[in-house]
């Protein structure tokens, strides 16, 4: 808030609630996200033009309160309604859903779309039960662009859901994070080992073994992500290689190189590339790879102007 006063403001005394400096905008759909601290630039970093309108933040790895969720929505409502767009976690769902009930009493219409892109957390037939991880960035970008151009609440929600339905992510953990509240590691991982499919809070993955090379890690991730989306020759994708907090950018580019090679071999066209830290877990070492299957509509929305304390695309 102090570093970016031209872009964000707080609507009250609670500094866990931030909104766009120009909110509310009459006739513009508001988009509110939120979740626990510890994931910067999630969630605060995506409040800005062409992205989210507001955010509610909890303690480290903890949900924001019902009141914080409601306050963020009230502060960005310009009469066109509010989309709640956040990750698929039980505590967040409980509090945001209660906030929906409060907002109904004030006559504020809402819709909810949950990010659920972590293919390691549930099989394809239970995709709606998957955890939300870095792939939610694509939903912020597309839904934010739709709201900026004046789409209705139902249209903005439909765009967000289309992105969620076409996004798949898997990560690898190389070392745990230390939880500041307890001083304990979020999970146990012996030196020289890695865990494929680990969650951004240290949730168990699907494979643990000796640390592999960047190419070997990328292959293990892509062997799950590519078939999950049913990608084949002629398909078009956006690629996100995301660092979890303590992985050098050089290593993320190695993961991208192998991702590029694999998709090129399949005849899949890479339309857009994003490499860096988009959703972290404090100082966890590791990375994730997200693929979004795109069409002309989604590409137009990904390319729309956007600016926030973290992200800028002219």
The residue annotated as part of the active site, out of 4, 39, 207, 260, is 39
Torsion 198-202-203-208 (CA) sign: positive
Say which residue the tokens 């909810």 belong to. 112
* The three-state (H, E, C) secondary structure of the chain, written as one string: CCCCCCCEECCCCCCCEEEECCCCCCCCCEEEEEEEECCCCCCHHHECECCECEEEEEEECCCCCHHHHHHHHHHHCCCCCEEEEEECCHHHHHHHHHHHHHHHHCCCCEEEEEECCECCCCCHHHHHHCCCCCCHHHHHHHHHHHHHCCCCHHHHHHHHHHHHHCEEEEEEEEECCECCCCCCECCCCCCCEEEECCCCCCCCCCEEEECCCHHHHHHHHHHHHHHHHCCCCCCEEEEEEEECECCCHHHHHHHHHHHHHHHHHHCCEEEEEEEECCCCCCCEEEEEEEEEECCHHHHHHHCCCEECCCCEEC
Q: What order do you get walking across the sheet with 110-115 strand by strand?
A: 8-9, 17-20, 54-60, 30-37, 82-87, 110-115
Say whether 201 is catalytic. Answer: yes
Say whether 4 is catalytic. Answer: no
CA angle at 162 for the pair 157 and 165, rounded to the nearest 5°: 125
The residue annotated as part of the active site, out of 4, 201, 207, 260, is 201
CB 280 within 8 A of CB 39: yes
The catalytic residue positions are 39, 201
């Amino acid at each position: 808030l102090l570093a970016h006063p031209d872009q964000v403001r707080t609507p009250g005394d609670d500094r866990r609630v931030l909104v766009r400096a120009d909110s509310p905008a009459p006739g513009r759909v508001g988009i509110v996200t939120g979740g626990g601290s510890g994931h910067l630039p999630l969630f605060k970093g995506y409040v800005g033009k062409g992205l989210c309108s507001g955010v509610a933040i909890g303690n480290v790895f903890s949900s924001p309160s019902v009141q914080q969720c409601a306050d963020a929505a009230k502060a960005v409502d310009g009469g066109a309604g509010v989309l709640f767009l956040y990750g698929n976690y039980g505590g967040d769902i409980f509090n945001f859903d209660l906030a929906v009930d409060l907002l109904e009493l004030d006559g504020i219409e809402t819709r909810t779309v949950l990010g659920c892109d972590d293919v390691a957390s549930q099989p394809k037939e239970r995709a709606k039960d998957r955890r939300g991880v870095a792939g939610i960035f694509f939903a912020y970008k597309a839904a934010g662009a739709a709201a900026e151009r004046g789409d209705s609440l139902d249209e903005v929600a439909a765009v967000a859901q289309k992105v969620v339905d076409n996004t798949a992510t898997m990560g690898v953990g190389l070392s745990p994070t230390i939880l500041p509240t307890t001083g304990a590691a979020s999970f146990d991982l012996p030196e020289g080992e890695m865990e494929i499919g680990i969650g951004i809070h240290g949730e168990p993955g699907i494979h643990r073994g000796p640390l592999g090379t960047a190419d070997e890690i990328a292959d293990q991730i892509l062997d799950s992500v590519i078939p999950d989306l049913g990608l084949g020759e002629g398909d078009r994708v956006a690629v996100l290689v995301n660092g979890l907090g303590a992985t050098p950018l050089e290593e993320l580019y190695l993961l991208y190189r192998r991702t590029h090679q694999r998709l090129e071999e399949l005849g899949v066209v890479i339309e857009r590339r994003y490499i860096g830290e988009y959703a972290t877990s404090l100082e966890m070492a590791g990375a994730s790879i997200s693929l979004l299957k795109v069409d002309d509509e989604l590409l137009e929305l990904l390319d729309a102007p956007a600016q926030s304390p973290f992200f800028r695309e002219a």
